[in-house]
Amino acid sequence: MKKALAFTFLFFVLLLPNKTFAGFPIGKYRDVVVPTFSYYSQTDRYDNNGNLIKGTPGTGFTSFSTNLFIGYGISRRLDLIINVPFLYQINRLGAGNSIINQGAGDVLAGLSYNLVNFNYLRYLSVQVSGIVPLYTNTNGNSALGLGDYGSEVKLMYCGILPKSIFDKGYFNTEIAYRRYFNSQGPDQVSFTGTIGYPVTRHNQISLDLVLFRSFSSDKAFNPNFFAERDYAFFKPQLNYGHTFTRRFSMFIGGFYVPYGLNTGVGYGGSLLAVIKL
């Protein structure tokens, strides 16, 4: 039983960098704080048919973002979550011209409830959240996001991998639906799958696979994916984490977008800390 609980804790810590606690309850009166720094860049793009379009020399889009995730355990099953992003974006227009935008993005806040646990080894949870823009939407356009209120429902199933697959390790699967309250939407659906493996007692690796689709009547391409409405992408990400203490861990990850529709050929990475209070 102690071994199972140890792997459960390891699983919980590793999945937090993905801006979720992956269906695992935080715990009554416990707090988790996750500051994250992320980098994203793209020059080329995919058209509506998935064909690669080379970017014009001197053009492109780069984003530096900081996210602050806060989770609070209201009860043994119910948690409050808040995620606040701060963005710094450079849109290079060519000929040495660029536009810089910075500020707070869309805050996501909601509740996560653990529906059932399976012998404290695997968990099924649901999360319901609201989305509120923290910036001014001028004439229907903003570089910091869509500028619309929205909501999200997410179903999460996670836990320790069956021994028939690995003697150690964990998994996480998420299916989410997000709706923005605008006549053009968008409606967004996503699937995230994660497999992680403890290399040593304090070191772990994990692989994330993300499938994302956003539907809207607005088909215009925007190099700034924060403000785009109709697009799709597949994104794998490899992560490495080190646990310094039971209350403090750090993680680093890198990703690339090998396929997409009406979106950038993006790459980047993230650096974050997990702090348990």
List pLDDT tens digits, range 38-75: 999 999 999 999 999 999 999 999 999 999 999 999 99
Take residue 214 and report the two structure tokens written for it. Answer: 């956003």
Residues 13 and 22: beta-carbon distance below 8 Å: no
SS3 sequence, 101-138?
EEEECEEEEEEEEEEEEECCCEEEEEEEEEEEECCCCE
Residue in this structure with the two tokens 């179903």, named with its chain if needed: 155
Q: Look over the chain and give the mean of its residue pLDDT values, rounded to a whole number.
A: 88
Give the range among 1-10, 27-36, 121-130, 233-242 with minimum mean pLDDT.
Answer: 1-10
Q: How far is CA 80 from the centre of its chain?
A: 17
pLDDT-derived band at 142, boundaries 50, 70, 90: confident
Checking if the pLDDT of 19 tops 70, the result is no
Are the CB atoms for 15 and 194 separated by under 8 Å? yes
The per-residue pLDDT for 139 is: 64
> Which pLDDT band holds residue 23 (cuts at 50, 70, 90)?
low
> Which amino acid appears at position 130 of this protein?
G
**Which amino acid belongs to residue 127?**
Q
Determine contact, residues 7/160, Cβ cutoff 8 Å: yes
pLDDT number for residue 11? 39
Question: Tokens representing 41?
Answer: 């860049």
pLDDT of amino acid 4: 41
Contact 88, 61 (CB under 8 A): no
Q: Is 31 exposed, middle or buried (0-12, 13-18, 19+ CB in 10 A)?
A: middle
